[in-house]
Amino acid sequence: MIERQLFNAEHDMWRETVRKFVEKEIVPFHAQWEKDGIVPRELWLKAGEAGMLCCTVPEEYGGLGLDYLFDVVVFEELWRVGASGPGFLIHTDLVSTYILSFGTEEQKRHWLPKMVTGEAIGSLGMTEPHAGSDLKAIRTRAERDGDDFVINGQKVFISNGQMCDVLVLATKTDSSAGAKGVTLFLVDASLPGFKRGQNLDKLGMKAQDTSELFFDNLRVPAGAMLGTEGGGFPLMMTKLSQERLAQAIRSATVTETIIEWTVDYTAERRAFDQSIADFQNTQFVLADLKARSVMARVFTDKCIELFMAGKLDPVDAAMAKMTTSELHCETADKCLQLFGGWGYMWEYPIARAYADARIVKIAGGSIEVMKTIISRDMFKGRLGRTR
């Protein structure tokens, strides 16, 4: 086996700390949270106290100022036990990163310390009923009124939507300008006009609250703008590679975990006077998945390395996201088959992993969008030519 080279002794010690937290504070309660459709706010506060939120936020804003790999460890340890409920990824990897990268000094000092402690939960408000991967097609409007902006519109499929305290919200300040009319705001969820819809009943990831959000004459000061007016779309584009890398890290981790579960199960489960693992079909299926999971892990780790050096290309991120998410779904399907009828029972982790897996081919940009990005790069200057 190829040994991972990314992590040093400090990261390994941190992994042990995170693993103990997850085993004590999350694993025993996650099944109930799936029934509830949400994790308790107390978990966020405990995670904040343990230093598990926003590890890369500098000390001047209340964080630990650690490198990205400390966040990676947190994400991997959650996914390794199938803990899809805590929406730490959105909070840490996206919302705090938007604020740290593009926020004013006042915005950073107001929100980041609270996000580090778990006092303020972050969410990302971009997807709409008529705009998913095509973000420039959003319809939520922000109209200037003196020194304020008045926001009206709707978002959907918003992770942490039921609990969020701060929302990075994508709006249109100029509907006729296409991508150049998109503006981002940091929205305080306690403001009048911010309305939470229902907690959506999803196929998987049932413990993570996912909501509709509505904005009814929501008034925010111009100082709540993130970046410049009309400059939101380029900001969103700069963070897509990071979001897609996170999806790849998730899929690589879960794929490895599912294979481990299946090896253990098939070695013990018997049929026709032999273990399921004794059948050549079992061996061949798992050998194929194992070989491809190793290749996915090596490429994903290389992308992490490039990201930390500021060199991760959007096309490489798209390839990592596409290949790992497809392998993730295939692995969940083929391994569930080897569990037989027990694999269809919700009490078995493989059943929940199967249900959770399907979103990875959609979240962070659909597989079709990833293929478009890759193919456009392959055929630069050649597509659309006339004879």
Q: Comparing C-alpha atoms, which of 62, 40, 38 is closest to residue 49?
A: 62
Q: What torsion, rounded to 10 degrees, do the Cα atoms 301, 255, 125, 153 define? A: 140
Q: Name the residue with tokens 């969410």.
A: 123
Q: What is the distance between the alpha carbons of residues 41 and 78, in angstroms, rounded to a whole number?
A: 17
In the set 243, 260, 268, 347, the catalytic residue is 243
282, 339 contact by CB (below 8 A): no
Question: Which residues lie closer than 8 Å to 109 by C-beta, 6 or more apart?
Answer: 61
- 166-172 and 122-125 as β-strands: parallel, antiparallel, unpaired? parallel
Amino acid type, 287: A
Q: Is 3 a catalytic residue?
A: no
Amino acid type, 291: A
Q: Given CA atoms 59, 62, 68, 72 in this order, what sign does their dihedral have?
A: positive
245, 304 contact by CB (below 8 A): yes
Q: What is the per-residue DSSP string for 157-191?
A: EEETTTT-SEEEEEEES-TTSGGGGEEEEEEETTS
For the annotated catalytic residues, the residue numbers are 243
